[in-house]
Amino acid sequence: MNIVMLFSFVCYFLILTAISFIVKRKKETRQSFLIGNRSVNYWVTAIATQASDMGSWLFLAFPAAVYTNGLFEFWTAIGLIVFMFLNWQLIAGPLRKETAQYNAVTITDYLSKKYRDTSGYIGLVGSLITLIFFTFYIASGLVGLGRLFEAAFSLNYHVGICLGLITVVLYTLIGGFVAVAWCDFFQGLFLLGVIAAVPLYTLIYMGGIQPILAAASARHISLSLFPEGKSIVSALFLAASWGLGYFGQPHILVNFMGIDDPDKTKQATYVGMIWQVIVLTASASIGLVGMGFYPEGLANTELLFVDLTQTLFLPLITGFALCAILAATLSTMDSHILVSGATTAQDLYPFFRREKQGGTVFISRAGSIIVSLIALGIAWNNHSSVYALVNYAWSGLGAAFGPLVLLSLYSNKQGNVHSALGGLISGALVAGFLPFFAPQIFPLVPAFLTSFIVNLLLRSI
Q: What average pLDDT does this structure show over 347-362?
A: 69
What percent of the chain is modeled with pLDDT above 70? 96
Residue 452: inside a domain, yes or no? no
What percentage of the chain's residues is helix, strand, coil (to nearest 5)? 80, 0, 20
Residue 419: inside a domain, yes or no? no
pLDDT score of 342? 87
User: Which band of pLDDT confidence, cut at 50, 70 and 90, is reported for residue 152?
Assistant: confident
Within a 10 A sphere around the Cβ of 231, how many other Cβ atoms? 9
pLDDT score of 441? 86
CB within 8 Å of 266: residues ≥ 6 apart: none
Residue 371: inside a domain, yes or no? yes
Q: What average pLDDT does this structure show over 113-130?
A: 92
pLDDT tens digits, residue range 402-461? 999 999 999 877 788 999 999 999 999 999 999 999 888 889 999 999 999 999 999 877
pLDDT score of 30? 67
The rounded distance, in Å, linking the Cα atoms of 454 and 452 is 6
Residue 23: inside a domain, yes or no? no
pLDDT score of 354? 58
Tell me: pLDDT of 64 over 90: yes
Q: Give backbone dihedrals phi and psi of 264, rounded to 5 degrees, phi first.
A: -90, 5
User: Which band of pLDDT confidence, cut at 50, 70 and 90, is reported for residue 287?
Assistant: very high
Q: What average pLDDT does this structure show over 112-137?
A: 92
Residue 143 DSSP symbol? H
CB within 8 Å of 440: residues ≥ 6 apart: none
What percent of the chain is modeled with pLDDT above 90? 47
pLDDT score of 373? 93
Tell me: pLDDT of 57 over 80: yes
Alpha helices for 344-443 (secondary structure H): 349-352, 360-379, 386-410, 417-437
Average confidence score pLDDT of the chain: 88
pLDDT score of 358? 46
Return the CATH number at 260: 1.20.1730.10
Q: Give whole-number Cα distances, 183 to 51, 379, 416, in Å.
A: 10, 24, 38
pLDDT tens digits, residue range 153-172? 778 889 888 988 888 888 78
Q: How far is CA 454 from the centre of its chain?
A: 27
Among candidate residues 24, 345, 399, the one with its CA nearest the CA of residue 174? 24
Tell me: pLDDT of 90 over 90: yes
Which residue range(s) make up the domain with 264? Answer: 3-18+40-383
The rounded distance, in Å, linking the Cα atoms of 77 and 216 is 20
Residue 191: inside a domain, yes or no? yes
Among candidate residues 131, 355, 369, the one with its CA nearest the CA of residue 251? 131
Q: Give whole-number Cα distances, 284 to 60, 391, 412, in Å.
A: 11, 17, 41
Q: What average pLDDT does this structure show over 208-221?
A: 92
pLDDT score of 26? 56
DSSP string over 210-277: HHHHHHHHHTT---SSS-TT--HHHHHHHHHHHHGGGGG-HHHHHHHHTBS-GGGHHHHHHHHHHHHH
Q: Are 102 and 114 in contact (CB under 8 A)?
A: yes
CB within 8 Å of 141: residues ≥ 6 apart: 55, 56, 164, 168, 329, 330, 332, 333, 336
User: Which band of pLDDT confidence, cut at 50, 70 and 90, is reported for residue 376?
Assistant: very high
Bigger pLDDT: 243 or 19? 243
Tell me: pLDDT of 85 over 60: yes
Structurally, the chain folds into a number of domains equal to 1
